[in-house]
Amino acid sequence: MHEDICFADATELARLIREGEVSPVEVVKAHLERISAINAKLNAVVTIAVDALELAKQAERAIAKGSATGPLHGVPFTCKDAFDVAGIRTTRGSKLFEHRIAERDATTVARLKHAGGIFLGKTNIPEFALWWETDNSVFGRTNNPWNPERTAGGSSGGEAAAIAAGLSPLGIGSDVGGSLRMPAHYCGIVGFKPTHGRVPLTGHWPETLLRAQHVGPMARTVRDVALALRLLSGPDGVDHHCLPLEPPAIPASAAKPLKLRVGWLADGAFAPVDREVQAVVRKAADSLRSAGCTVEHTALPVLEEHPASTVSGPVWALEAGYYWEPFIRGRESELFPFMRKRLATPWPDVRDYLKGLATWEAIRHGMTAWFHEYDLLLCPTVCVPAYAHQLREITVDGVTMPTRQKLNTLIPWNFTGSPAISVPFGLSSEGLPIGVQLVGRHFDEATVLRAALALEEVSEVRGKHPPLS
């Protein structure tokens, strides 16, 4: 019964609780016991909310009184350790903040609580949430639940591993350069980066690169991220990036035929891409065609001319370095080795920085023009399945490249601010998940979700879970 509970999605758990088939206490207990049994192998959950069980009892009493509070009443959720949760240790993955206790909830955390969700705990991140491997000096490394010798990605790697392994049904991640979608791909879950300005960033740290930063939901099903997105959306009066828009329309189903125009690309601007990843993207293109879409192979010349991972380097380095300098001054020796090395690198020349900003704008213009012709882009989430921990280089299709280059499939949509979702759609020959990515027009999350639902319906990995016991 516990495994049935732990691998039910949040939407199903909410229904079971609402109809009295399970209680909030049963659900929270099942997840806490799962964490106790499995987490040591993964190091995904790093801080448990000590009041979770008491809150579950309160939720149970509310049901008895007929006063359930919202669509997630009694359903547990987690968030990465970059979000503030009142009264909870929030380390930001760093020795510099090892004993920090947050004073108030991040807006997104508060919204899930207001919807009846029960906060279960914090998940691991790399230091300052700015690396593609989840490891730090406070809690150590997070392992991929499909193969502990492989990376879970970053910076939302702990969140993705926890959800994939049944430690949590629903989570909040963030994404400044793939930090939400990359771990979702590696761990075989759904990760949704909504349009920039859709979900408030308030209470998420670091407060830098905000025009590229996104906060969004992570879960095992598309319907869960759709539900969470509606709950998380809308201005909070604090984050000036968040626009006063109505919550996105959430489709109940794919509603085929989709009648969308989809451009797909498995290599080209994103090359080199692993052959198995390419095959999964092609299969997804065929599936969308079968669902009623007009699907065409496309090209993205602006990204061929301006590889996003190269463009982001000087901008990220200068802006983040300037922001972090007051926090780290005199405490450099306490930084995680990777971050210490990264922040010791000389800042880029102002011309390189300005060139990066100009190229950023060129990518935005180029992709805006592309979306005049298409409703959606289908492409790889990441060019490879999960690889071994701590690699600085990877070999893809016979080409050896820096691991940073894999961000070429991810960072463009932080530059553009577009909604982008990773949906698990296949397995590699080594049994590792492979996701596909759908990118849409600004604030057209509904179209992205409709197509994602259609892919999920025919995904060969739908309902499959990591081989953990």
Task: Provide the annotated active-site residues.
Answer: 80, 155, 179
Contact 356, 362 (CB under 8 A): no
Say how far residue 424 (Cα) sits from the centre of its chain.
Answer: 13
Q: How many CB atoms within 10 Å of residue 21? A: 11
According to DSSP, residue 404 is labeled: G
Distance of alpha carbon 401 from alpha carbon 116, whole angstroms:
46
Question: Tokens in use for 401?
Answer: 């490249």
Contact 389, 164 (CB under 8 A): no
List the Cα angle 69/72/77 in 5-degree steps: 125
Question: Tokens in use for 42?
Answer: 């993964």
Q: Maximum distance among all alpha carbons in the chain? A: 65
Closest CA to 234 of 110, 95, 390, 75: 110
Distance of alpha carbon 289 from alpha carbon 148, whole angstroms:
36
Contacts of 311 (CB under 8 A, 6+ apart): 356, 359, 360, 363, 411, 415
Burial label for 87, CB within 10 Å (0-12, 13-18, 19+), is middle
Give the pairing type, strands 433-440 and 376-380: antiparallel
Give the pairing type, strands 376-380 and 261-264: parallel
What SS3 class is residue 400?
Answer: strand
Closest CA to 436 of 391, 376, 395, 390: 376
Contact 168, 210 (CB under 8 A): no
Burial label for 412, CB within 10 Å (0-12, 13-18, 19+), is buried
What SS3 class is residue 432?
Answer: coil
Distance of alpha carbon 373 from alpha carbon 455, whole angstroms:
22
Distance of alpha carbon 108 from alpha carbon 205, whole angstroms:
13
Say how far residue 146 (Cα) sits from the centre of its chain.
Answer: 17
Distance of alpha carbon 228 from alpha carbon 445, whole angstroms:
13
Question: Tokens in use for 266?
Answer: 């498995």
Q: How many residues does the chain have?
A: 469
